[in-house]
């Protein structure tokens, strides 16, 4: 095997994307927990911490540009780098959506309605968290079958989201809080969509073709 | 370029293959085996050079790529140890047929080498040499051919005031383009290039690459290169040779994005070779 430097640069890049994935998963988990415990100070901190995710994504972009310029990769190597860029961009958006969830919660007048819909919300949150973990694991091992399964999980989330939003719209309680909860569940559903995007990029990295899982 | 030399009778059209709006094969190699003495250098090579396309031939040293293109103009046979089986056809005609004189083949198939090899003569004489051998004596016509060929090789502006100077006074990049002009002067149909830029600096390399892209409108070009980025930049199709065999030949975009064979991927990504 030649090009050891190049190979280690590719590994480093992927390592950084995986770490970004961990960060985003942790943020999501922390936002859900802070909402559940009505810990507003923690939510504020999490909103501020999003800057780190943005910086990590930028660092990955810069590193990828340098590797492309220096090594002029082709074929599988080029896809490896393109997929690092694509996944880090999707992860960054997922980070933004977690922040949006925190902001929506902070706009709510009281935690009452969250608690009345707690079971449904946490059930969606659990599915989303599981999906993030699984898709990043599939990325780690470039497991195409696992990546294809992710799409099925997204369908579950979409269904649960549809039911919850319907209930919220029919709710006679505070319209403002119902709207914020609808936003929160919408943001979770969007994170699921980004996980599906990541799954599609995994398939692209392995097979060289785009596959629409949505 | 206008037709200044006698044209061959137009080749017979081959029956159209099914699914084809595809271009005609100028060269077609079928089951080509080649030995240098006892050592086999090419193994059952099947390959086509399509009309007005650039085919890049890539592969590690000693894989048979230079041998292959030198087989196409029968230059490889100058080595008395060489033995060939299989068939090479140029526009449908077997190049080893007695009815196909090798001189005629080499008029239709020009070659540019790794190191520029101008004759120790003036710039003008270098280009006029071929047409003169073909019996053109008219001075005005020769001047016309020389200018057109030098323009075709994108070097006219650089040498138009130095036509009588010795070609050795030109830079390496200019000498190589002069050699291309010399090749164009006899109006070939195909141009074979054997690592034409490996002795040139990056700027001259890019000039020759630009030139190859321009020449493709009029000529069919096969280029052996060690520079994979060059193959990716200038060719329509790429053939990957390994140990005397063609591992894969496909559209260049495909080869450099999603090659079908793992060995191709490993080679173009620099894992070996």
Which residue(s) pair with B40 in the sheet? B35
**What's the pLDDT score for residue B17?**
43
- Burial group, residue A8, by CB count within 10 angstroms (0-12, 13-18, 19+): exposed
Instruction: Give, in degrees to the nearest 5, the angle at Cα B188 between B165 and B190.
Output: 120
Q: What is the mean pLDDT of residues A157-183?
A: 89
Query: What is the share, in percent, of chain B residues with pLDDT greater than 70?
Result: 92
A41 inside domain: yes
**B6: pLDDT confidence band, cut at 50, 70 and 90?**
very low
Contact B259 A75 (CB under 8 A): yes
CA A31, CA A105: separation in Å to the nearest integer? 10
Q: What are phi and psi of B69, to 5 degrees?
A: -70, -30
Axis crossing angle, helix A4-36 with helix A75-107, rounded to the nearest 10: 20
Given pLDDT bands bounded at 50, 70 and 90, which one contains residue A209?
Answer: confident
Adjacent-strand bridge partners of B55 = B222, B237
- The per-residue DSSP string of B55-92 comes to EEEE-STTSSHHHHHHHHTTGGGGSTTEEEEEEEEETT
- Which of A6, A79, A207 is opposite residue B270, by nearest beta carbon? A6
Measured CA distances, B42 to A99, B35, B111 (Å): 63, 7, 20
The answer to whether A73 faces chain B, any CB pair under 8 Å, is yes
- Please tell me if residue B97 touches chain A, with a CB cutoff of 8 Å: no
* Residue-number span of the structural domain to which A202 is assigned: 4-207
Is B271 in contact with A3 (CB distance < 8 Å)? yes
Q: Is residue B15 predicted with pLDDT exceeding 60? A: no
The domain tally of chain A equals: 1
- Dig out the tokens for B228 from the structure: 């994979």
* Residue A212 falls inside a structural domain: no
pLDDT of residue B142: 95
CATH architecture for the domain at B25-268: 3-Layer(aba) Sandwich (3.40)
Residue A214 domain flag: no
Q: Please tell me the predicted confidence (pLDDT) of residue A170.
A: 83
Torsion sign across C-alpha atoms A10, A12, A13, A19: positive
Per-residue model confidence as pLDDT tens digits over B41-55 = 999 999 999 999 999
As a whole number, the mean pLDDT across chain B is: 90
CB contacts of B258 in chain A (<8 Å) are 75, 207-209
pLDDT at B13: 47
H or E element at residue B249: strand B245-251
Task: Report residue B104: phi and psi, to 5°.
Answer: -65, -40
Instruction: Identify the CATH number of the domain in which residue A52 sits.
Output: 1.20.58.220
| pLDDT of A2 | 62
* pLDDT for B90: 96
**pLDDT bucket at B19, cuts 50 / 70 / 90:** low
Average pLDDT on B241-248 reads 97
Distance from the Cα of residue B268 to its chain's centroid: 22
Element (H, E) at A163: helix A144-170
Mean per-residue pLDDT, A153-158 = 92
The least confident of A60-64, B20-24, B80-84, B247-251 is B20-24
Cβ-contact B195, B114 below 8 angstroms: yes
Q: Is the ipTM of this complex over 0.85?
A: no
Which pLDDT score is estimated for B21?
A: 61
The pLDDT value given to residue B2: 44
The model carries a pTM of: 0.81
Question: What is the pLDDT at residue A5?
Answer: 85
Please determine, for residue B71, whether its predicted confidence score (pLDDT) is greater than 80.
Answer: yes
- Chain B positions in Cβ-Cβ contact with residue A78 (cut-off 8 Å): 257
Chain B contact present for A75, CB below 8 A = yes
- Helix, strand, coil percentages in chain A from 3-state DSSP, rounded to 5: 85, 0, 15
Mean pLDDT on A95-122: 94
What share of chain A in percent tops pLDDT 70? 99
Q: Residue A213 domain-assigned?
A: no
Read off the pLDDT of each residue in A146-164 and give the average, rounded to a whole number: 92
Looking at residues A194-210, what average pLDDT do you find? Answer: 93
More confident residue, B202 or A212: B202
Per cent of chain B over pLDDT 90 is 81
DSSP at B169: G
pLDDT exceeds 90 at position B264:
yes
Q: How far apart are CA B91 and CA B109, in angstroms?
A: 12
Contact A3 B259 (CB under 8 A): no
Would you give the distance in Å from CA A36 to the centre of its chain? 20
* Residue in the structure block whose two tokens are 């592969």: B59
Smallest CA–CA distance from A209 into chain B, residue: B258
Q: Between chains, do B269 and A72 touch, taking CB under 8 Å as contact?
A: no
Q: B194 or A175, which is more confident?
A: B194
* CA A148 from centroid of its chain's CA atoms: 17
Contact A74 B258 (CB under 8 A): no
pLDDT at B7 over 70: no
- β-pair type (B82-90, B54-58): unpaired
Q: How far is CA A126 from CA A32, A62, A114, A120, A154, in A?
A: 9, 33, 16, 10, 12
pLDDT tens, position by position, B100-159:
999 999 999 999 998 999 999 999 999 999 999 989 999 999 999 999 999 999 899 999
With a CB cutoff of 8 Å and minimum separation 6, the contacts of B56 are: B223, B224, B225, B230, B231, B234, B235, B237, B238, B239, B252
A vs B: CB pairs below 8 A: 33
Cα angle value A36/A42/A48 (rounded, 5°) = 130
Interface test with B, best of A3, A7, A10, A75 (most B CBs within 10 A): A75
Taking the CA of residue B23 as centre, how many other CA atoms within 13 Å lie in the half-sphere pointing to its CB? Answer: 15
């Amino acid at each position: 095997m030649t090009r050891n430097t190049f190979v280690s640069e590719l590994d480093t890049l992927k390592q950084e994307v995986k770490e970004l994935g961990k960060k985003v998963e942790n943020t999501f988990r922390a936002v859900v927990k802070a909402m559940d415990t009505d810990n507003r100070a923690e939510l504020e901190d999490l909103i501020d911490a999003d800057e780190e995710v943005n910086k990590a994504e930028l660092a990955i972009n810069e590193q990828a540009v340098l590797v492309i310029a220096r090594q002029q990769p082709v074929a599988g190597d080029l896809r490896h780098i393109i997929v690092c860029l694509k996944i880090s961009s999707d992860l960054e958006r997922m980070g933004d959506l977690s922040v949006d969830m925190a902001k929506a919660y902070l706009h709510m007048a009281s935690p009452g309605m969250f608690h009345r819909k707690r079971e449904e919300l946490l059930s969606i949150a659990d599915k989303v968290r599981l999906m993030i973990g699984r898709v990043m694991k599939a990325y780690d091992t470039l497991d195409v079958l696992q990546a294809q399964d992710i799409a099925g999980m997204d369908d579950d989330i979409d269904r649960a989201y549809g039911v919850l939003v319907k209930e919220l719209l029919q709710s006679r309680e505070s319209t403002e809080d119902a709207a914020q909860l609808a936003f929160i569940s919408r943001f979770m559903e969007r994170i699921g969509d980004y996980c599906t995007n990541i799954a599609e990029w995994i398939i692209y990295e392995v097979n060289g073709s785009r596959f629409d899982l949505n | 370029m206008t037709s200044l030399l006698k044209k061959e009778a137009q080749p017979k059209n081959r029956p159209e293959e099914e699914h084809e709006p595809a271009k005609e094969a100028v060269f077609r190699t079928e089951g080509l085996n080649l030995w240098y003495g006892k050592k086999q250098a090419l193994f059952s090579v099947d390959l086509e050079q399509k009309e007005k396309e650039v085919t890049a031939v890539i592969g590690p040293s000693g894989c048979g790529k230079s041998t292959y293109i030198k087989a196409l103009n029968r230059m490889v046979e100058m080595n008395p140890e060489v033995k060939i089986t299989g068939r090479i056809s140029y526009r449908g005609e077997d190049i080893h047929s007695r009815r196909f004189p090798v001189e005629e083949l080499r008029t239709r198939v020009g070659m540019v080498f790794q190191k520029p090899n101008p004759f120790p003569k003036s710039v003008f004489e270098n280009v006029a040499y071929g047409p003169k051998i073909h019996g053109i004596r008219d001075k005005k016509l020769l001047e016309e051919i020389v200018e057109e060929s030098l323009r075709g090789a994108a070097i006219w502006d650089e040498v138009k005031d130095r036509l009588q100077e010795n070609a050795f006074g030109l830079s390496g990049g200019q000498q190589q383009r002069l050699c291309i002009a010399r090749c164009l002067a006899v109006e070939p149909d195909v141009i074979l290039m054997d690592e034409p830029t490996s002795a040139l600096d990056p700027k001259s390399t890019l000039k020759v690459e630009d030139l190859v892209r321009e020449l493709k409108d009029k000529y069919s070009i096969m280029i052996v290169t060690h520079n994979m980025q060059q193959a990716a930049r200038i060719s329509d199709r790429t053939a990957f040779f390994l140990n005397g065999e063609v591992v894969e030949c496909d559209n260049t975009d495909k080869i450099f994005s999603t090659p079908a064979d793992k060995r191709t991927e490993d080679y173009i990504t620099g894992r070996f070779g």
